[in-house]
Amino acid sequence: MAVGVFDSGLGGLTVYEAVAKRLPDVAFVYYGDNAHAPYGVRDSDDIFALTCRGVERLWEEGCDLVILACNTASAAALKRMQETWVPGDKRVLGVFVPLIEALTERQWGDNSPPREVAVKHVALFATPATVSSRAFQRELAFRAIGVDVEAQPCGGVVDAIEQGDEILAEALVNSHVEALKRRMPHPQAAILGCTHYPLMQKVFQSALGADVTVFSQANLVADSLADYLTRHPELRGAGLQSKYLTTGDPASVSNHATQFLRRGIRFEAA
């Protein structure tokens, strides 16, 4: 029984690794739309169309449940997909929910009024499309008050990761952290609001300082998915085989994935 993991490129592999480790008895099919990465510079209609195409391909693999391991797709396309496009026997879930649960220390099903939380100053690092959508701030406002969020669009970081250029990616992360700290000198917490960014988590942490709590999504999503599948076992799907699919060049994508994850990954053409 298989669950789909969708991303615009390599970033969702951080989520794939975490969910596969957390749920070793579940097959996972990964779809990276590397041919069209990055999504963060595209408009919402384009993101919606590309995301729907990828999700349909995962449905073909027997994945009735698909995780959008892409913050840009979650921010720009998920709500529209759920309201207008996803059929009743399928589910498409995003990655914001577990992150906001952790930050606000409350469960998603808790519909009580917004309340004050311990963290008051939050730095959000995300793609330009995620930042402009304000989806994170909007969802956070339903659950917490008095939280100052300073968002930094991190142009170029995803491109550098997709191209396998770790030196450039590190330089860009340091530059973006410096730019944010000019506006918010002392954040208490930082959100890595793109699933590519955990590949550079040590660089973010070093630039921010040891006193800043850095929230990365992969393990939070894995725990949330385990709970969801316990409550909805029928959505594990009919697929039986784990695999990695890409719209890009399989050899090149495999090489870059292997470089960042430090283990062999073999992609097939989607």
Annotated catalytic sites, by residue? 70, 194
Cα-based distances in Å from 79 to 87, 102, 238? 14, 21, 25
125 class by beta-carbon count within 10 Å (0-12 exposed, 13-18 middle, 19+ buried): buried
- Among residues 55, 108, 99, the alpha carbon closest in space to that of 77 is found at 55
Element (H, E) at 151: strand 148-153
Amino acid at 226: A
**Rounded to an integer, what distance in angstroms lies between the CA atom of residue 216 and that of residue 198?**
6
∠ CA 24-33-86, rounded to 5°:
75
**Phi, psi (rounded to 5 degrees) for 123:** -95, 130
Tokens matching residue 197: 């960014």
CA distances from 252 to 166, 247, 255 (A): 16, 11, 5
Write out the H or E segment, with its range, that includes residue 54.
helix 44-60
224 Cα distance to chain centroid = 13
55, amino acid identity? V
State the residue for tokens 């606000």: 104
Residues 6+ apart with CB under 8 A from 210: none
